[in-house]
């Protein structure tokens, strides 16, 4: 067997693993030891894309194998010269709302097909490219990122990796699927109400919504400018930390926490009014954490309740999205997904006084949240109140779609209003079974601290 064939076989074995067994650290270590390199990764990902059929084509909707091979060869040469970049040779898929030079940004829609191509890359994508990524393709998404369920009638809806009849969640649906199916090591996405954390929870991955200001949103098609955040979905907390460092330009402290964690579980319907299986799994998880030495506090958090109440009135997303789409929707409504158009049309009737009544309290509520959780390491909740629902039921029933979309976004969107740093990590689960997503959150600007806490909890749960 030739050396090249050996490297290809090792690459095939690596990319066939479950996500937890193919982290960015493990991939970069394989490159460093010469087990295989970026060129073998590019070859194997092309093979996997073809072999997976619609699971792949509904996840990654456009890709450039030749371009990836050129990028891989360049990274291989750098590594041969003992020169490396932070993400050298790491394949990252890109949500379809980020601008790329000379490409038309479609944001999962047909309504933008006649738009002018972008004249430069989005800032987040530019930073990833400068760090040496392989561009693994553009991913499917909820049209205009305006749903937590991930359906898209235009380009196809990716299947859930645990059950192909169920959804991945959204709006970063194809991005999460691309990581779960071994078509990318990580994905670049956005989160306005839960669009990184919901699909991460449904697909057994880690999704990190950092504070809005930490990663520039320039060049990303907006949904709700007050809330839009840019971040990654990846196999682990350490993967998300490495990606966020590149995206933000900040350095996160990788030193493990050695003291016991103190986590606050809100006494709220956000925790109590979840599906029975979610409630049972979360209760068992809390019992296990206490057995592992985690200090759990249970108390109402007034700021969370205040944010939740505003979101229950409609929040900021719908009126801001309606404003963003005012002209485009009027001109091209027939090209929109009817479920998305209906939601956008609903925002037209919201008065400016009602919108401002939701917006003006925000800063004060954020400040109260920071005060109310200052003595704990993080707030802990189930990421989503339910497990991934069946795709066919959502496609057939608009009322059910609206009901479950609201339920999917309910927990996560509170922390968008608070502009909290928030991450979803998977609880341990039997192989091939959808795990419970656990959401940890800290106040605005505390991204580094949250990543350390999440890393500590992830390590505990692996015991």
Task: Respond yes or no: is residue 171 known to be catalytic.
Answer: yes
Which pLDDT belongs to residue 78? 82
> Exposure of 104 by Cβ count < 10 A (0-12 exposed, 13-18 middle, 19+ buried)?
middle
**Average pLDDT for 187-205:** 98
Residue 171 preceded by cis peptide, ω within 30: yes
Q: Using the predicted structure, report yes or no on whether residue 256 has a pLDDT greater than 90.
A: no
Same domain, 297 and 439: yes
pLDDT 10s digits, 355-411: 999 999 999 999 999 999 999 999 999 999 999 999 999 999 999 999 999 999 999
Q: How many Å apart are CA 96 and CA 106, to the nearest integer?
A: 6
Average pLDDT over residues 124-137: 98
Instruction: Please check the confidence at residue 81 and state whether its pLDDT lies above 80.
Output: no
- Confidence class for position 5, pLDDT limits 50, 70, 90: very high
Catalytic choice (142, 195, 226, 422) = 195
Sheet holding 421-426, edge to edge: 60-62, 134-139, 91-95, 186-191, 229-234, 206-209, 421-426, 437-442, 378-382, 262-266, 295-299
Q: How confident is the model at residue 458 (pLDDT cuts 50, 70, 90)?
A: very high
Asked if 7 and 79 touch (Cβ cutoff 8 Å), the reply is no
| pLDDT of 430 | 86
The active-site residue, picked from 57, 59, 79, 95, is 95
How many structural domains is the chain composed of? 2
Q: Which domain holds residue 455?
A: 263-461
Q: Is the pLDDT of residue 284 over 80?
A: yes
pTM of the model: 0.97
Check whether residue 299 and residue 431 sit in a common domain: yes
Per-residue pLDDT at 82: 67
**pLDDT digits 0-9 by tens, 290-304:** 999 999 999 999 999
Q: Residue 424: what pLDDT?
A: 98
Active-site annotation holds for 95: yes
- Over residues 243-252, mean pLDDT: 96
Domain identity same for 187 and 108: yes
Q: Check whether residue 323 and residue 207 sit in a common domain.
A: no
Q: Are residues 297 and 243 in the same domain?
A: no
Q: Is 256 part of any domain?
A: no
Catalytic residue among 171, 178, 413, 422: 171
Residues 277 and 242 in one domain: no
How many Cβ atoms from other residues are within 10 Å of residue 255's Cβ? Answer: 8
Say if 160 falls within a structural domain: yes
Q: Is 236 a catalytic residue?
A: no
CATH number at residue 365: 3.90.1300.10
Query: What mean pLDDT comes out for the span 216-225?
Result: 98
In the predicted model, is pLDDT for residue 201 greater than 70? yes
Which of 225, 248, 271 is where one domain is finished?
248
């Amino acid at each position: 067997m030739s050396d090249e064939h050996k490297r290809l076989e090792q690459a095939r074995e690596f990319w066939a693993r479950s996500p937890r067994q193919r982290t960015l650290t493990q991939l970069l270590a394989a490159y460093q030891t010469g087990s295989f390199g970026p060129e073998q990764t590019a070859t194997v990902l092309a093979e996997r894309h073809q072999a997976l059929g619609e699971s792949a084509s509904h996840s990654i909707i456009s890709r450039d194998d030749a371009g990836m091979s050129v990028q891989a060869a360049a990274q291989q040469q750098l590594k041969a010269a003992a020169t490396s970049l932070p993400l050298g040779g790491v394949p990252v898929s890109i949500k379809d709302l980020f601008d790329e030079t000379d490409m038309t940004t479609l944001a999962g829609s047909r309504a933008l097909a006649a738009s002018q191509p972008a004249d430069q890359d989005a800032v987040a994508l530019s930073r990833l490219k400068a760090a040496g990524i392989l561009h693994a393709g553009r991913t499917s998404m909820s049209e205009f990122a305006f749903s937590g369920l991930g359906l898209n009638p235009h380009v196809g809806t990716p299947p859930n990796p645990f059950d192909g009849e169920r959804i991945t969640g959204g709006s970063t649906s194809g991005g999460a699927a691309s990581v779960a199916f071994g078509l990318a090591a990580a994905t670049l996405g956005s989160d306005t109400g839960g669009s990184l954390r919901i699909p991460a929870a449904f697909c057994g991955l880690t999704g990190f919504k950092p504070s809005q200001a930490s990663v520039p949103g320039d060049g990303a098609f907006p949904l709700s400018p007050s809330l839009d955040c840019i971040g990654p979905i990846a196999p682990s907390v350490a993967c998300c930390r490495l990606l966020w460092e590149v995206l933000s330009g900040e350095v996160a402290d990788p030193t493990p926490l050695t003291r016991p964690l103190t986590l606050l579980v809100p006494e709220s319907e956000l925790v109590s009014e979840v599906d029975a299986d979610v409630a049972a799994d979360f209760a068992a998880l809390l019992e296990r954490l206490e057995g592992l030495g985690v200090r759990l506090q249970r108390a109402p958090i007034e700021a969370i309740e205040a944010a939740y109440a505003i979101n229950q009135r409609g929040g900021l997303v719908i009126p801001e999205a309606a404003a963003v789409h005012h002209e485009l929707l009027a001109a091209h409504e027939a090209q929109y997904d009817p479920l998305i158009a209906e939601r956008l049309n609903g925002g037209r009737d919201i008065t400016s006084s009602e919108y401002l009544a939701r917006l003006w309290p925000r800063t004060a509520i954020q400040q109260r949240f920071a005060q109310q959780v200052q003595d704990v390491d993080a707030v802990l909740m189930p990421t989503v109140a339910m497990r991934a629902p069946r795709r066919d039921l959502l496609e057939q029933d608009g009322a059910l779609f609206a009901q479950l979309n609201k339920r999917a976004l309910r927990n996560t969107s509170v922390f968008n209003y608070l502009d909290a740093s928030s991450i979803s990590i998977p609880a341990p689960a039997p192989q091939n079974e959808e795990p419970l997503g656990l959401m940890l959150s800290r106040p605005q600007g505390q991204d580094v601290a949250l990543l350390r806490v999440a890393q500590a909890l992830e390590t505990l749960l692996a015991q």
